[in-house]
Amino acid sequence: MITIVTGTDTGVGKTVATAALAAHFGPRAVVVKPAQTGIGTDEPDSSVVQHLAGCEVDEYTRLEDPLAPDTAARLRGIEIPPINEHAARVRELAETRDTVIVEGAGGLMVRLDTDGGTLSDLATDLARDHPVRVYVVTRVGLGTLNHTALTVEALRSRGVEPAGLVLGAVPDALGLAEECALAELPRVTAVPIVAALPEGAGGLDPEHFRERVDSWLAGCLAGQ
Protein backbone atom coordinates (compact mmCIF):
# COMPACT_ATOMS: atom_id res chain seq x y z
CA MET A 1 0.00 0.00 0.00
CA ILE A 2 1.16 3.52 -0.81
CA THR A 3 0.00 6.19 1.61
CA ILE A 4 0.37 9.89 0.89
CA VAL A 5 0.29 12.52 3.62
CA THR A 6 -0.51 16.05 2.55
CA GLY A 7 -1.75 19.09 4.42
CA THR A 8 -3.71 22.27 4.12
CA ASP A 9 -0.56 24.33 4.70
CA THR A 10 2.89 24.21 6.21
CA GLY A 11 3.11 23.62 9.95
CA VAL A 12 -0.20 21.76 10.29
CA GLY A 13 1.36 18.57 11.69
CA LYS A 14 2.12 16.49 8.59
CA THR A 15 5.43 15.23 9.92
CA VAL A 16 4.03 14.04 13.25
CA ALA A 17 1.09 12.46 11.40
CA THR A 18 3.55 10.71 9.08
CA ALA A 19 5.51 9.43 12.06
CA ALA A 20 2.31 8.17 13.67
CA LEU A 21 1.36 6.25 10.53
CA ALA A 22 4.84 4.77 10.25
CA ALA A 23 4.84 3.70 13.89
CA HIS A 24 1.45 2.06 13.46
CA PHE A 25 2.48 0.08 10.38
CA GLY A 26 5.69 -1.09 12.00
CA PRO A 27 9.27 -1.79 10.95
CA ARG A 28 8.46 -2.79 7.36
CA ALA A 29 7.11 0.67 6.64
CA VAL A 30 9.35 3.17 4.89
CA VAL A 31 8.79 6.93 4.71
CA VAL A 32 9.70 8.90 1.59
CA LYS A 33 10.34 12.64 1.61
CA PRO A 34 10.61 13.64 -2.08
CA ALA A 35 11.99 17.08 -1.26
CA GLN A 36 13.41 18.15 2.09
CA THR A 37 14.08 21.88 2.49
CA GLY A 38 15.58 23.90 5.32
CA ILE A 39 18.52 21.56 5.82
CA GLY A 40 20.71 24.48 6.86
CA THR A 41 18.33 25.91 9.46
CA ASP A 42 15.75 23.41 10.76
CA GLU A 43 15.69 19.83 11.95
CA PRO A 44 14.72 17.87 8.84
CA ASP A 45 11.29 16.25 8.82
CA SER A 46 12.99 12.95 8.05
CA SER A 47 14.95 13.14 11.31
CA VAL A 48 11.77 13.84 13.29
CA VAL A 49 9.99 10.87 11.70
CA GLN A 50 12.94 8.57 12.23
CA HIS A 51 13.26 9.65 15.88
CA LEU A 52 9.57 9.21 16.71
CA ALA A 53 8.74 6.13 14.63
CA GLY A 54 12.12 4.39 14.40
CA CYS A 55 11.54 3.58 10.74
CA GLU A 56 13.64 3.93 7.60
CA VAL A 57 13.32 7.28 5.84
CA ASP A 58 14.36 7.95 2.26
CA GLU A 59 15.00 11.52 1.04
CA TYR A 60 15.24 12.21 -2.68
CA THR A 61 16.34 15.86 -2.72
CA ARG A 62 17.86 17.91 0.12
CA LEU A 63 17.79 21.69 -0.15
CA GLU A 64 19.40 24.20 2.18
CA ASP A 65 16.85 27.00 2.40
CA PRO A 66 13.53 26.80 4.33
CA LEU A 67 11.38 27.53 1.28
CA ALA A 68 9.09 25.65 -1.08
CA PRO A 69 11.19 23.01 -2.90
CA ASP A 70 10.90 24.63 -6.33
CA THR A 71 11.81 28.04 -4.92
CA ALA A 72 14.70 26.67 -2.84
CA ALA A 73 16.09 24.82 -5.84
CA ARG A 74 15.88 27.78 -8.21
CA LEU A 75 17.53 30.02 -5.65
CA ARG A 76 20.59 27.76 -5.69
CA GLY A 77 20.51 26.79 -9.36
CA ILE A 78 19.62 23.18 -8.56
CA GLU A 79 17.47 20.92 -10.73
CA ILE A 80 15.04 18.63 -8.92
CA PRO A 81 14.13 15.36 -10.70
CA PRO A 82 10.61 15.40 -12.19
CA ILE A 83 7.60 13.81 -10.54
CA ASN A 84 7.62 10.76 -12.82
CA GLU A 85 11.09 9.87 -11.48
CA HIS A 86 9.80 10.22 -7.92
CA ALA A 87 6.92 7.92 -8.82
CA ALA A 88 9.27 5.31 -10.28
CA ARG A 89 11.33 5.24 -7.09
CA VAL A 90 8.23 4.94 -4.90
CA ARG A 91 6.96 2.07 -7.05
CA GLU A 92 10.29 0.30 -6.67
CA LEU A 93 10.07 0.60 -2.89
CA ALA A 94 6.49 -0.66 -2.94
CA GLU A 95 7.66 -3.90 -4.55
CA THR A 96 9.56 -4.89 -1.41
CA ARG A 97 7.79 -3.01 1.41
CA ASP A 98 4.37 -3.57 2.90
CA THR A 99 3.79 0.16 3.31
CA VAL A 100 5.35 3.21 1.66
CA ILE A 101 4.37 6.55 3.19
CA VAL A 102 5.08 9.69 1.18
CA GLU A 103 5.13 13.01 3.01
CA GLY A 104 4.66 16.15 0.95
CA ALA A 105 6.12 19.61 1.54
CA GLY A 106 3.79 22.38 2.63
CA GLY A 107 0.37 22.17 1.01
CA LEU A 108 -0.91 19.95 -1.77
CA MET A 109 -0.12 22.32 -4.65
CA VAL A 110 3.43 23.23 -3.57
CA ARG A 111 5.79 22.36 -6.41
CA LEU A 112 8.04 19.42 -5.62
CA ASP A 113 10.21 19.73 -8.70
CA THR A 114 11.46 22.41 -11.05
CA ASP A 115 9.02 21.35 -13.79
CA GLY A 116 5.93 22.33 -11.81
CA GLY A 117 5.01 18.87 -10.53
CA THR A 118 3.09 18.68 -7.25
CA LEU A 119 2.13 16.05 -4.71
CA SER A 120 -1.26 15.78 -6.39
CA ASP A 121 0.53 14.89 -9.63
CA LEU A 122 2.54 12.25 -7.79
CA ALA A 123 -0.64 10.78 -6.27
CA THR A 124 -2.32 10.67 -9.69
CA ASP A 125 0.70 9.00 -11.28
CA LEU A 126 0.99 6.35 -8.58
CA ALA A 127 -2.76 5.63 -8.56
CA ARG A 128 -2.58 4.43 -12.15
CA ASP A 129 -1.23 1.06 -11.05
CA HIS A 130 -1.17 1.01 -7.23
CA PRO A 131 -3.75 1.41 -4.48
CA VAL A 132 -3.07 4.87 -3.04
CA ARG A 133 -4.53 6.26 0.17
CA VAL A 134 -4.31 10.04 0.71
CA TYR A 135 -4.74 11.65 4.12
CA VAL A 136 -5.16 15.40 4.52
CA VAL A 137 -3.71 16.85 7.72
CA THR A 138 -5.50 19.96 8.88
CA ARG A 139 -5.89 22.37 11.77
CA VAL A 140 -8.93 22.66 14.01
CA GLY A 141 -8.87 26.46 14.41
CA LEU A 142 -10.45 29.36 12.56
CA GLY A 143 -9.85 29.24 8.80
CA THR A 144 -9.56 25.49 8.57
CA LEU A 145 -12.88 24.99 6.77
CA ASN A 146 -11.81 27.00 3.74
CA HIS A 147 -8.27 25.60 3.58
CA THR A 148 -9.44 22.01 3.99
CA ALA A 149 -12.26 22.32 1.45
CA LEU A 150 -9.85 23.77 -1.13
CA THR A 151 -7.38 20.92 -0.61
CA VAL A 152 -10.08 18.26 -0.87
CA GLU A 153 -11.52 19.90 -3.99
CA ALA A 154 -8.07 19.99 -5.61
CA LEU A 155 -7.61 16.26 -4.97
CA ARG A 156 -11.05 15.38 -6.33
CA SER A 157 -10.47 17.46 -9.45
CA ARG A 158 -7.58 15.10 -10.20
CA GLY A 159 -9.62 11.98 -9.59
CA VAL A 160 -8.22 11.28 -6.12
CA GLU A 161 -10.70 10.79 -3.28
CA PRO A 162 -9.17 11.57 0.14
CA ALA A 163 -9.24 8.67 2.57
CA GLY A 164 -9.71 10.92 5.56
CA LEU A 165 -8.85 14.05 7.48
CA VAL A 166 -6.25 13.99 10.24
CA LEU A 167 -6.34 16.70 12.90
CA GLY A 168 -2.70 17.61 13.31
CA ALA A 169 -2.63 19.23 16.76
CA VAL A 170 -5.76 19.19 18.90
CA PRO A 171 -5.47 21.36 22.04
CA ASP A 172 -6.61 20.03 25.41
CA ALA A 173 -9.10 22.87 25.79
CA LEU A 174 -11.28 23.60 22.76
CA GLY A 175 -12.60 27.07 22.03
CA LEU A 176 -15.74 27.80 20.05
CA ALA A 177 -13.92 27.75 16.70
CA GLU A 178 -12.31 24.38 17.46
CA GLU A 179 -15.56 22.82 18.66
CA CYS A 180 -17.39 23.99 15.55
CA ALA A 181 -14.58 22.79 13.27
CA LEU A 182 -14.85 19.27 14.64
CA ALA A 183 -18.49 19.17 13.59
CA GLU A 184 -18.21 21.18 10.39
CA LEU A 185 -15.13 19.68 8.71
CA PRO A 186 -16.80 16.37 7.76
CA ARG A 187 -19.99 18.16 6.69
CA VAL A 188 -18.24 20.76 4.52
CA THR A 189 -15.81 18.34 2.86
CA ALA A 190 -17.76 15.05 2.91
CA VAL A 191 -14.53 13.46 4.17
CA PRO A 192 -14.47 11.83 7.62
CA ILE A 193 -12.15 12.86 10.41
CA VAL A 194 -10.26 9.63 10.93
CA ALA A 195 -7.55 10.58 13.40
CA ALA A 196 -6.73 13.28 15.92
CA LEU A 197 -3.22 13.92 17.20
CA PRO A 198 -2.99 15.83 20.48
CA GLU A 199 -1.11 19.09 20.58
CA GLY A 200 2.47 18.40 21.66
CA ALA A 201 2.51 14.79 20.41
CA GLY A 202 5.75 15.44 18.54
CA GLY A 203 7.46 16.35 21.80
CA LEU A 204 6.84 12.98 23.41
CA ASP A 205 9.73 10.59 23.79
CA PRO A 206 9.66 7.83 21.16
CA GLU A 207 8.52 5.08 23.53
CA HIS A 208 5.46 6.98 24.72
CA PHE A 209 4.72 8.24 21.21
CA ARG A 210 4.62 4.71 19.82
CA GLU A 211 2.56 3.44 22.75
CA ARG A 212 -0.16 6.02 22.09
CA VAL A 213 -0.22 5.93 18.29
CA ASP A 214 -2.89 3.28 17.86
CA SER A 215 -5.35 5.18 20.06
CA TRP A 216 -4.90 8.30 17.90
CA LEU A 217 -5.29 6.42 14.63
CA ALA A 218 -7.83 3.78 15.61
CA GLY A 219 -10.57 5.52 13.64
CA CYS A 220 -8.82 5.30 10.30
CA LEU A 221 -6.65 2.24 10.54
CA ALA A 222 -8.68 -0.37 12.38
CA GLY A 223 -8.03 -3.69 10.72
CA GLN A 224 -5.29 -2.39 8.43
pLDDT digits 0-9 by tens, 149-174: 999 999 999 999 999 999 999 998 88
Contact 173, 179 (CB under 8 A): no
Distances from the Cα of 167 to the Cα of 68, 74, 79, 95, 108, angstroms: 23, 33, 34, 30, 16
172 is in an annotated binding site: no
Contact 194, 135 (CB under 8 A): yes
pTM to 2 decimals?
Answer: 0.92
pLDDT digits 0-9 by tens, 73-85: 999 999 999 999 9
What domains appear along the chain, each with residue ranges and CATH number?
Answer: 2-217 (3.40.50.300)
Which pLDDT does position 222 carry in this prediction? Answer: 44
73 is in an annotated binding site: no
54 is in an annotated binding site: no
Q: Is 33 a catalytic residue?
A: yes
113 is in an annotated binding site: no
Show Cβ contacts of residue 115 under 8 Å, excluding neighbours closer than 6 positions. Answer: 82, 83
Which of 24, 33, 133, 210 is labelled catalytic?
Answer: 33
- Compare 43 and 65 and report the one with higher pLDDT: 65
